[in-house]
Structure 1
């Protein structure tokens, strides 16, 4: 059997060159690699036969090995073969012995490993690989940050070193050990735990620990640790917000609801400078109703926002939550000198707004916006519910008042109308009157019937919802008086108006209030009557309003309350329901109505708490 040279039995490609870089030998693997036979290449110069190698590492490497008589090795990519080779050249006095090995697969693995390592190094989660002895094979930079330790001090250490550095208690350390074992022996594809740990600065943190099996020459388990402190805190806050929602919905007081909302934001969301403003529907401005201690300490109280004033009003009108990262870059501030640098303003539906601010720029992020949006949405729902409850209570109370009014109407109607009709009957049946007395009798009948008709009108008005009012608008007091005189039985010359003023009220109902008061005075007068109308509260510092003072027959003091409220459990006789209507319409506007006797006789009606009343210059 022919013996095979040892160089032909090696798996690497091998060829020999003399000092002139001429081929002196090639094994079969080299022939295959170079795609040339020995006969073609023996005695020929490598650079002449393979000119494409001149621009590679071969010339420099081979010359260095020959000149310095030192072994050299390098890796080179063969373009035509799409193959990576490791070349090793060993010099001698007679030339070079060159070995070439296909390292394409190894290079691919190294590239993959390098890519994986780069990915692992780049991710923000801490990654630790462990061998079967629970010793650390490798960690990434995020692990160093998480633990505040250098990787060089951790390589080869037992996993217990990590749990000790992270301040994980013994029971949780046992849980980690069990999770690693389950994954390593194949009892589970993965294990996940959420455990508290201590950060490098000594602060309490929450981590998500995931354990998965890996296929590696040395490592068998990878642990991925993510800091979920912020997410955990977010979940805690959201859960607490849901609990606060229960408190909000248990209250039917808007101011209490707003106070709960503000203090929830302060305590849960760490928003020490916060406040809530609700729309004052009658006046049309945003009124502060609740604020944190920090807000009051910083500003000494919260301002009122009129239409068009500041960012608060703009956001309220727009209806969308807005975050301002740096107020120094925002124009049209309500207070250009505000110490606040950043703030979030969130509309509470159509009820008002919640505003929170900070003394530093860029204090808030989208998470804060989400949480505040949840808080104001829950607050809106609570205020909506409070409104519905208030409407229901008002309707129930109104039904009760209507029942009482109907009972009072029946009493007044049965007494007063009976008296009026009796007077008519007596006048018609008076056979003793001569022809000179008939005109007087006819006047008496006509007057009596007018009073009866007026009584029926009052009954109709009082029996329906006398306290219902429509939208309010700005009115001139003098114009309303003129309109009321035209609708009443009062002569225009009988009115004396002492001052010009304006107020906001339901135009129709306010005119009817005045008309009813005028007719009440006419009904109590034996002849002509004069009514003086003036303003109160501007000089004496009391609540603002106006008065009507007539010179008709005065109402007895013991009947003052009864004429305003015929539903009172009182046997005092009253004449008609006119002043009860005046009071009902006044109270529907949130005003106060009282009746007293004038200093020189007659009756004085005062309407107070008219907060929108303003004196006008003539």
Structure 2
């Protein structure tokens, strides 16, 4: 450092080095590191590093003093012709820094302790008022009035007063630009370096504007460095993840992005794609994921690395809309398919000879459809209160080792099957993974791909035959129209089972016979009159909704008993007496009468029913497949005074006098049989008619055109049975 090398140009020095160099006045007076640090109000270590750099660039001289101290100084420079000319134009620098000041591209001026301008360079000359003839020696505020009442004046005066370096950045209207001033006071005055920072301010303003835009957009924005770490995130992105901004900055992108969705990023990094758009999951601090659309682009960073900028948009609503649309498409297809399946079931089960055939056919049709995985039908064992599997199709082993109860205290009854049987209502599980009540069967359902299920009670005319279970691999499969449509299967199957049992009871040789007695029926039903005479119940016709038409006769002394009994029965009743005949005929319309309703609901028929000497005796026949215990429980529950006197298996006698009647009844539908029977017993076919078509329609609660339609259809079936070729008689050996 012999001073022979030319000084490094000042415009290549940083603001920090200029600030440090300005502490020295060029008089050659040495200063210690501590003194310079106190002037700059900085730490000794930082100041020492600055001084070393200035010494290395031959801007300062330095030497060691004592064992561990060092001093620094700026020696005076000799005059030159160029410097002399410059001094004549702009004055002599107080500090003897003329050689250095000449080289700088920034502005510089100096004032004495009375604010008189003692020096200014060519750059600083631009701020001087053109009307001032001789600026040197004039007060700064007069030659540069644009400084008055500005942050610049405030900073200058503060530095002069406190004798501490200062700096300021502000807009200077006379030069129409932004400037940064570094102010260095001394006892003799003030030295000011100022730099045009307009371009920097424009860049900062532009960057600030971009940052404001980035922070206010609804999308999340982030920047990754070359190592895949977050270098920038906006508030929206941080909010989407649930992490604080400080937690994200410096963290790897895999903190919130799934590593499996790397294909678009890899293509982007390889340069094969300019912009990549991908849908992926964004994982938050709470562990939950959000579906997002990411738009990625390469970004050249300041350090030369290739980073990446990403714009992330929450597409939860769009994904949900797409899922809902897809679900609706699936449901529409399922409803259409279910309609076809239901029609196929109706056609397939018509004429099935047994209940088992009906149930197997239903399960097979559902399992063969594209909308459902498998199906099964079960009923309840009276003794065990657990569900027995009657038919299944579509899967093997699903019900192995599975116990389903109807006992409400047993957790195995909490699933849809148990609830459907207990409540008699359709029960669905739309998302098995979210249903705690399905815990006992969850693992098994997951193994078979089940996402939703429906348990549909099989009923007809108030009788519960069992439950149909249907399973789908779609969540929410049994909502809306699909759920409504599949619910109807319970009624369809119930009607078919009832028809098979009714036909079996009418045509089968094997029967179950039950005989009930109610002693002193007047007391049992609170009949207000004394029971006397004989009352026979000849024909019972179910007409729907628990209502029955009962045709019978009564001896004259039993007419008041008939009236009293009709008034004492639960539910609305309507009685018509035909007193012109002996014994008196009557037509009784009742709702859910004890014993009769239980028999009708199980498609049995009354073989004999009579009230004689105050006691009621009724004999009923049921098909062997009927749950007799349930019939008995129903009767005893409705009529606690009823006593089961006989329960036996019988074989219909070969000389049964009513085979044709039973065959015709079996060929008719329930409604056709009810209409035809009611018309016959009400005297509709007598001449003159005892009951008109309108009266008959009213008694059946149907419109007259509907009555005549059913009558014509039933009459046609009767005539076809009469005139068609006879079937070969069955072998009754």
TM-score, with structure 2 as normaliser: 0.37
TM-score, with structure 1 as normaliser: 0.43
Greater helix proportion: 1
Q: Between Structure 1 and Structure 2, whose CA radius of gyration is higher?
A: 2
